[in-house]
Structures are given as structure tokens and as C-alpha cells.
Amino acid sequence: MALLILTVSVSGGDTTGWWDPADVCLVAYGDAERSVDRRMWLAAGAIASLATGITGGPAVVVLAYLNNARVPLTKWKELESKSPEYRMVYSRCYEDKIREIRVKSSAVGCAVGSLLFPLVYLIGISPFLIVY
């Protein structure tokens, strides 16, 4: 049984010459970190959990995963000078990182909202309990 190892070097139309997919992913991860609004997804998870109890928060987490996470058009303009392979790797890494950030942020918000739900509920009805 022979072991065949293939190495692929990609330079294509990339104006920077040779590139490493890991380096491309690091660039994409940095761009994704700067472009996603963590607070919005955290608030969405918390508000959904507070408003509906434990059912709304997980729905927001699923929505965060399924939501379209595409590279912005302005970034595509910058990537036009790169090879198709470079753009493909960048796009995949960018979309994966955006999705990861959205899911983590909304899950934290969901957890916070779920923990605060009983407290908010008790505070909201406590005047009625004291009167009766």
C-alpha cells in the first residue's frame, strides 16, 4: 500500500504571489471580528428569552446560525485582484467566523435572558402577590 501525498501550490492571479490558506483565514477572521455586531446578537438572544421564556432564545441561536453571513460587497471589491482560490478560502473563513460569533453571542444572550426570566417575572407580579 503506497501513500500518495499531493501538495498544491496556488498562485493564480493573486498579485501578492504565493499565499498560505491559514494566513488567508487569519485575515478573514480579523475582518469578521471587526464587522459583526456582537451586542446586537447578544441583545437579540436576551430579549427573546426574556419575552418568551426558554423557547425564544434558542430560536434566535438557530436564526443566528442560519442567517446569511456573506462577505460584504466592499470587501469583494478589494479581493478582485486576488485569485479565485484566494477569494474562495477567504469567503469560507469569513462566513464561518461570522456564523461562530453570531451563534456564541446569541447563545450567551439566551443564557442571560433565561437566567433573568424568573427574576423579572417575580418582580413583575410581586405587587399583585402582596395585595392578595
Highest mean pLDDT among 3-7, 16-20, 47-51: 47-51
Domain count, the chain: 1
Rounded mean pLDDT, 90-116: 92
Q: Taking the CA atoms of the chain, what radius of gyration do you get in angstroms?
A: 22
Q: Could you tell me the residue range of the domain that residue 27 belongs to?
A: 21-125
Average pLDDT value over all residues in the chain: 80
- Does residue 131 belong to any structural domain of this protein? no
Q: What is the pLDDT of residue 33?
A: 93
Asked whether residue 50 is domain-assigned, the answer is yes
In a domain, 1, yes or no: no
In a domain, 101, yes or no: yes
95 falls within a domain: yes
Q: How far apart are CA 106 and CA 60, in angstroms?
A: 7
DSSP state letter for 70: P
